[in-house]
Structure 1
Amino acid sequence: MMEEPLLSEIRSENGEKETDKWRSYQSLGRPGTASLAGTEVSVDEIRSAAAASDRYPPSIHAALLSSPEPDLGEQSIVYQGGYGEEIGGPSSEFLRPILDEVEIRELLIDHVGHRCCWGSRPARTWKIHAIEDCNVYVGTLDTFIEEREIIRQTEPHRGGNLDGKDKGPEVGLWELDLRSQFPVLFVPYKETRANVPHSETTEKCAGCDGRGDRVCPACNADQEPGFYKENQMAPCPGCYGRGLIAHRDGSDSICAKCNGKGNIPCATCGSRGLIQCTTCLGSGSLLSRGIAVVKWKTLSTRKVSATSGAASVPEEVFHRAKGVQLCNTQAHQCTPAFFADSFFLNKFSSEVISERASVPPTARVICERHTISVVPVTRVTMTHRKRAFSFYIIGYSREVYLKDYYPARFCWGLCPCLEWLKL
């Protein structure tokens, strides 16, 4: 773990500025292009070539592609330096201006102003005791995979021609041409379904044994399987089987529901003894076909290396922060990046690669993307008498992070503003 300040103007023993070292790092790969045999090929050109091929081209499955551009939550400014450049002064492309006291207070006041029941007096009046630069490195490995599986789908067979094996051999799962459905690389998730050609078959419905009807469970519940009786009657619920309705004055009248018969037909089947099979809808057979379920998704591995001064900040804060992208490589399977003058970054890259997400056995890797970014973090400590608190200014967007303690909170947990703060 490196404990030296990240972007401070400290000079080494030979007089070279420490920040000058960053100019020797190379941005490996540019978003939107692939470097093949010394030429730059655009994504549009690769996709145009893919439309004319019989299967997914090697450019998609193993090439150096970037589509879309790296989405790290506005994390990275791509550093386009290269090996062998002359070492000069700090590059304004990635070195943020040093924060002065006025800017620090303005950022904290703005942060406090968006919090209900927080006072701005400490931000305006407390003394800035210390300003510390903290090193934070963010490494990611995105593995874009395609996963396929076949499920059987059944539905009532209503006749018509079948697309079965007599029309040709059933197409294999990974032989299906889904170029028209192929998404942009590194999308979080996309799913599609497609019929497998020549996979349709018919089979007898097991629910009704191919008859299309099933024995009525209401009026033939006591019958043996496969046998039923017609014209089974049920007692009338209006007159309880008497055929007459009794009145309080002692008179009787004919029951209107059963017309005085005392029995009514079965309400479930109309005394047919049979009901239509709900599985095959009376057809007696089922149509079965193979359905290919195809899922594209990005499996992400993320790792943060921070100095002790920034160790209390949650990692997700650094992942969404805007920093300097030192490395951006893409390949079918990424290998650790190489930095000529930094053993730490080489080791950090190797650790990120070694923790790659496991790929399901039903999937294959399409492409991987490996990035390493450095996020500038400033830790500020403010004091007043014997009291003190610290907060962080993170990334080029200058997001303020204040973990727990701020000396001017007035709700003491008694108002609903704390629920809003958790959002």
Structure 2
Amino acid sequence: MIRVRMHPRDYGHPGMPGAPPQQWTAGMGGAPPPEWRQGTQIPVDNEAAAPPSFGPPPMQGMPTFQGYENVGGFNQMAPLPPPPSSTPPPEPPKMDFGNLTSMDEGACRDAMIQFVSEHCCFGSAPAKEMKITNIAPGHALHYTLETYTEFRSTGYVSEPYRGGFVDGPENGPPPPPWAIPCNADSLFLDQQKLIEVPHTATVRPCHACDARGYNRCHRCHGWGNVRCHTCGGDGVRMVHVHEQGMQPQPCFACGGDGRRRCMTCGGDGRITCRTCDGFRNLKCYVQLKVTFKNNKDDYILERTDMPDELVKDVSGTAIFEQTLMPVWPITSYFVREINENSIRLVNQHKGGFPGARQLMQRQVLRGVPVTEVHYSWKDVTTRFWVYGNERKVYSPDYPQQCCWGCTIL
């Protein structure tokens, strides 16, 4: 015996082998038989029509599971409060702080010459001829605190069921949401993972197509053909014939029929259901969404007139670094503002992320060299700053910076 494998969308369609005889109606979604097309108005080509949009499956009849009483509906994730931590905090470690170095006059001059060379319209004379009158070396202190958190939520999702194993309630109760293993690929990196909760899957008929696998074509309304654009559905066009003037001729685009095959459904009058992809059934299950987020705050202590934000974009020297859960605030550094703001940020992070579990913390204190240089050139007296290990220059008052030496052709 020869078996013919058919696409799931074809099952139950009128005219298919083994399908029960049916009387065609407009709601069936298939193409009407020829006798229904005679004497009727040819449908207009509805090119701008969008495919039908269906909402999520109804929640009615979905199973409930212990530990997931507050699970969100379809495409609606409900947050899960984390379990209380039973791990006691570690003892405060000893804090050792590193030393910092400063820049001399030669390094400051070289940094200014390099800065001018990177700006094509700046004149190089001030950088080469300037007289440095004072150098005030110093350091900006940049303290950062990062708290890596994990946030979990659950909700129902659905996808086309293409066959295969279904891990349903008959295989046992699902594990608690926070007992499902899920680890971040790397600490302090934002990422998100989606996991199917074990033993929560069920198979349901597709609600979007009533388990047919197809829907009526939105462009031709199920007729399979549309009115010809060229002749407007008349089947004839007025054509200029030599020495006879305008004469009616059969439309070359539709062959005089007045209608053309629908390009969306290919003349079938139906399109595959986008919800179930033509497979008629949906696999519904509880999905666990795990969101890892790095929460970062910082404090900059920079006592010169240079904008503080410039410190963030350059490298410096690590004075102190600690990765621990939880970290202990810095309290013994010789700069009072650093101690105060470390305590403030650590306390702020303790209760700053409700609904999330804190996995790890990291605090870094680094010193960024900032040297203020006063100089004079001709009748100009001003200053600039050299900052960062890259020896970047901030010089808003450089004497020759408006197209110096450029010639307008």
TM-score, normalised by the number of residues in structure 1: 0.61
CA contact (8 A) 1:313 1:403 kept: no
Shift of 1:294: 2.6
Shift of 1:119: 2.3
In 2, distance between residues paired with 1:217 and 1:95? 71
Correspondence for 1:186: 188
SS at 2:107's partner residue? helix
Shift of 1:237: 6.1
Residue by residue, what CA displacement relative to the aligned partner does 1:153-207 show, whole Å, maximum 9, x if unpaired?
322223333111112222333222124xx323223x2333332222222233222
In 2, distance between residues paired with 1:98 and 1:235? 81
Distance 1:377 1:207, change over 3 A: same
* Counterpart residue type for residue 377 of structure 1: V
Correspondence for 1:202: 203
Correspondence for 2:398: 406
In 1, distance between residues paired with 2:114 and 2:261? 79
Percent identity between the two aligned chains:
27
Correspondence for 2:176: 172
Shift of 1:144: 1.3
Which of 299, 305, 319 is matched with 1:303 structurally? 299
* Counterpart residue type for residue 296 of structure 1: F
Which of 360, 384, 395 is matched with 1:367 structurally? 360
Q: Are 1:347 and 2:348 an aligned pair?
A: no
Shift of 1:407: 0.8
Distance 1:62 1:296, change over 3 A: farther
SS at 2:110's partner residue? helix
CA contact (8 A) 2:306 2:385 kept: no
In 1, distance between residues paired with 2:227 and 2:360? 71
CA contact (8 A) 2:121 2:404 kept: no
Which of 299, 316, 320 is matched with 2:314 structurally? 320
Residue by residue, what CA displacement relative to the aligned partner does 1:329-384 show, whole Å, maximum 9, x if unpaired?
33323232221765444224223434549755453211111222333322110023
Correspondence for 2:284: 288
Query: Which of 266-275 and 367-376 deviates more?
Result: 266-275
Q: Are 1:96 and 2:96 an aligned pair?
A: no
In 1, distance between residues paired with 2:168 and 2:158? 14
In 2, distance between residues paired with 1:330 and 1:176? 26
Which of 127, 130, 136 is matched with 2:131 structurally? 127
Shift of 1:140: 0.9
In 1, distance between residues paired with 2:219 and 2:96? 82
Distance 1:201 1:412, change over 3 A: farther
Q: Are 1:382 and 2:375 an aligned pair?
A: yes
In 1, distance between residues paired with 2:406 and 2:355? 53
CA contact (8 A) 2:318 2:364 kept: no
CA contact (8 A) 2:139 2:371 kept: no
Correspondence for 1:337: 330
In 2, distance between residues paired with 1:342 and 1:371? 15
Shift of 1:137: 1.8
Unaligned runs of 5+ in 2: 1-84
In 1, distance between residues paired with 2:331 and 2:315? 24
Shift of 1:411: 0.9
In 2, distance between residues paired with 1:260 and 1:103? 87
CA contact (8 A) 1:62 1:331 kept: no
Count of residue pairs the alignment pairs up: 317
In 2, distance between residues paired with 1:255 and 1:385? 87
Shift of 1:292: 2.9
In 2, distance between residues paired with 1:394 and 1:373? 13
* Counterpart residue type for residue 315 of structure 1: E
In 2, distance between residues paired with 1:317 and 1:144? 24
Query: Which of 200-209 and 354-363 deviates more?
Result: 354-363
In 2, distance between residues paired with 1:281 and 1:81? 62
Distance 1:218 1:366, change over 3 A: closer
Shift of 1:63: 7.2
CA contact (8 A) 2:236 2:249 kept: yes
Unaligned runs of 5+ in 1: 1-57, 65-78, 83-92, 222-230, 416-423
